[in-house]
Copies of this chain bind each other. A is one copy, B any other.
């Protein structure tokens, strides 16, 4: 069942208009561009899809927009991210109703607890939407809990989890997870959320990747995956080197941290490339401006990408 989720499955950035509404035209352009590049699926309402910033109505609007734009061409994973079980289950049911191919949920956050509760959380979600493949989203930087490999493999063997989206930045744990999963008969589809050490994740046995940077440039990630599939590790490495250089768009912004720098840089690059209309960010985050936009433009040019708009035009795109 889970083999449909192999390969490159970008987490879709949510384009906004200058006034903060979902920019559907830009959204369709961005999605078509990634599908045309050959991605194997899309993941909407991930952390970089601004799930945490979106009201329930907004989440529904985003899912509908993505489902309409994709129109069955690739599977769509939907993030069901919320603090605790019952809130997640509500999102899961909405995702199912709207046609999600699979859902992605983190462990509980905000309230403190233990691993018994984490396990029960995933079991309860699966019980609520038993027909929908469930991916565990391992993202300790946001939820402050690392999902243990033995728990994940056990939930995979029990049919609770279909896979793992690993954004833990713990490559040792990922390697051990991949080994344990292989030993257990590969119940879990393992997707790395990395951008710049995807080569290592593929060598470790990842079934695919979920790179936010693919919103900016999907072709390279598709080529890297194809090279990994054929064992052409020199080609893998070469693509990774180029994409690592491109990923510097997230490290060049000054005086801004976290989501505003990371997704802010993705949106800014996409706006500079003409894929989306503005680099607007959801409240309370402000869009990148001026020097930070210029720094990102410089990285894009160094990587040989052609800009459709000037930095000043992009800085002005949210001036309303």
Contacts and interface: CB of A to CB of B under 8 A. Distances in A.
A47 interface: yes
A142 interface: yes
A133 B267 CA distance: 36
Contacts of A55: 86-87, 90
A244 B245 CA distance: 29
B175 A244 contact: yes
A301 B245 CA distance: 43
A73 interface: no
Contacts of A117: 260, 284-286
Interface string A236-252: 11001100110010010
The residue among A201, A256, A259 with the most chain B CB atoms within 10 A of its own CB is: A259
Contacts of A245: 179
A86 B54 contact: yes
A37 interface: no
A300 B162 CA distance: 32
A22 interface: no
Interface string A89-118: 010000000000000000011111110111
Interface stretch (A28-36, A63-71, A191-199): A191-199
A108 to B, nearest CB: 7
Copies in the complex: 4
Contacts of A121: 283-284
Given A171-B169, A175-B197, A204-B200, A86 B113 contact: no
A23 interface: no
B196 A175 contact: yes
Contact of A172 (B111, B120, B196, B234): B196
B52 A110 contact: yes
A120 B169 contact: no
Contact of A286 (B56, B81, B120): B120
A257 interface: yes
Interface in A270-310: 282-286
Interface in A120-150: 120-121, 124, 141-144
16 contacts: A52-B111, A53-B84, A108-B284, A109-B109, A109-B110, A111-B258, A112-B259, A113-B285, A120-B286, A144-B144, A169-B172, A172-B194, A172-B195, A175-B244, A179-B241, A199-B204
Interface of A: 47, 52-56, 58, 81-87, 90, 108-114, 116-118, 120-121, 124, 141-144, 169-172, 175-176, 179, 194-197, 199-201, 203-204, 231, 233-234, 236-237, 240-241, 244-245, 248, 251, 256-260, 282-286
